[in-house]
Amino acid sequence: MPGLRGLFIPGPTNVPDRVRRAMDIPMEDQRAPDLPQFTLPLLEDVKKVFKCKTGQAFLFPASGTGGWEAALTNTLSPGDKVLAARFGQFSHLWIDMCIRLGLEVDVVDAPWGEGVPVDVFAQRLTADRAHKIKAVLVTHNETATGVTSDAAGVRRALDDAQHPALLFADGVSSIASIDFRMEDWRVDIAVAGSQKGFMLPAGLAILCVSPKALAAAASAQSRRCYFDFADMARANKDGYFPYTPPTHMFRALRASIDLLNEEGLDHVFARHHRLAEGVRKAVQAWGLKLCASEPRWQSDTVSAIFLPGPMGSRSVSASPRWRAASSVSAIWAISMN
């Protein structure tokens, strides 16, 4: 295929040349005496991208899905209740994981094209006097539908209900691209994947975890080993890892965070917004319709559109189904029938 290959899908995103170069290195000794000089500041700088201050960053060799599993198994016990909304493929899959890991899920279904129904969450939390709900799950950016949810609103709902549940956010397709404020919103675990806003290849689950969530690990009965926060924290404290880490990905992450900081996170967010506005204007001009039903839901990283005609009707799976047409800050086609 002639020419430069760029991806216009919802992820993985294109890896900048500087990041590619940063990971094109010989393998390193994972126990080198000077490795901590590199890893300790890196872990601190990951936190800044999440706007996390009091918590701790974790880097697991895994996909974002592994990050979800780490969040759930480290803080909850089988039988624990979680509150979650389903309004797209990824929020659906996270709920599915909860069930398979033995959790009880209070599922709030919302139309695909809308985000977390904060008012319904508020009712459920207020009604939950016994505090059976141990965690609230927010898919901050639903990649399947191009919808950004109001995570700050969910925090307010928790506060208004004086509810002690943990707040988990799936920021795989938002963090580092859309404003995300771990500390302000008191998110307890936020999950990102290397292959979206961090502009790396897939293979790294990037998490920030609040002290409250870390404390919850002490009593959480879910079985875990590979994704255990305590093992990782013990080794990370000195700048090392409990098993062979993908150090080339860490070098790439260093380059990616440097790129983000050089541009400035606010400028990065503004850039994604500007590009998304262009995409939305084009979609409108073409007479097409965004899946995100209202401006407040429109994601600045993914724009999903309904496909008219045969492309749409070719969809065969049940319930909303989608078809890749574009990328972060671009277009993503969805068809409902």
Q: Which of 220, 128, 201 is nearest to 165 (CA)?
A: 128
Per CB under 8 A, which of residues 233..252 are in contact with a copy of itself?
242-249
Sign of CA dihedral 66, 71, 77, 79: negative
C-alpha dist (Å) from residue 43 to 53, 60, 74 = 12, 12, 19
270 binds a copy of itself per the rule CB under 8 A: no
In the complex, least distance from residue 135 CB atom to a copy of itself, rounded to whole angstroms: 16
- CB closer to a copy of itself, 52 vs 172: 172
- CB closer to a copy of itself, 62 vs 83: 62
259 binds a copy of itself per the rule CB under 8 A: yes
Q: Which of 130, 225, 316, 318 binds a copy of itself (CB under 8 A)?
A: 225
**Binding span for a copy of itself by CB under 8 A among 108-116, 134-142, 182-190, 225-233:** 225-233
In the complex, least distance from residue 141 CB atom to a copy of itself, rounded to whole angstroms: 15
Distance CA 119, CA 154 (A): 9
* Main-chain dihedrals φ then ψ at residue 303, nearest 5 degrees: -115, 110
Q: Is the peptide bond before 2 cis (omega within 30 degrees of 0)?
A: no
Total site size for a copy of itself, rule CB under 8 A = 61
Q: Which of 64, 113, 115, 171 binds a copy of itself (CB under 8 A)?
A: 64
In the complex, least distance from residue 99 CB atom to a copy of itself, rounded to whole angstroms: 9
- CB closer to a copy of itself, 103 vs 157: 103
- CB closer to a copy of itself, 28 vs 128: 28
Q: Which of 114, 131, 125, 139 is nearest to 80 (CA)?
A: 131
66 binds a copy of itself per the rule CB under 8 A: yes
Q: Which of 49, 69, 220, 333 binds a copy of itself (CB under 8 A)?
A: 69
Q: Which of 53, 131, 132, 223 binds a copy of itself (CB under 8 A)?
A: 223
**Binding span for a copy of itself by CB under 8 A among 38-46, 49-57, 98-106, 211-219:** 98-106
Tokens 């307890």 label which residue?
A: 188
Counting beta carbons within 10 angstroms of the beta carbon of residue 91, is it exposed (0 to 12), middle (13 to 18) or buried (19 or more)? buried
36 binds a copy of itself per the rule CB under 8 A: no
Structure tokens at 107: 């599922």
- CB closer to a copy of itself, 3 vs 287: 3
**Binding span for a copy of itself by CB under 8 A among 23-31, 36-44, 163-171, 298-306:** 23-31
**Binding span for a copy of itself by CB under 8 A among 57-65, 119-127, 179-187, 211-219:** 57-65
Contact in structure between 282 and 289 (CB atoms under 8 Å): no
Q: Which amino acid is at 37?
A: Q
- CB closer to a copy of itself, 223 vs 281: 223
Per CB under 8 A, residues contacting a copy of itself are 2-7, 9, 11-17, 20-21, 24-31, 61-66, 69, 78, 97, 100-102, 193, 195, 201-203, 222-228, 242-249, 259, 263, 268, 271, 324
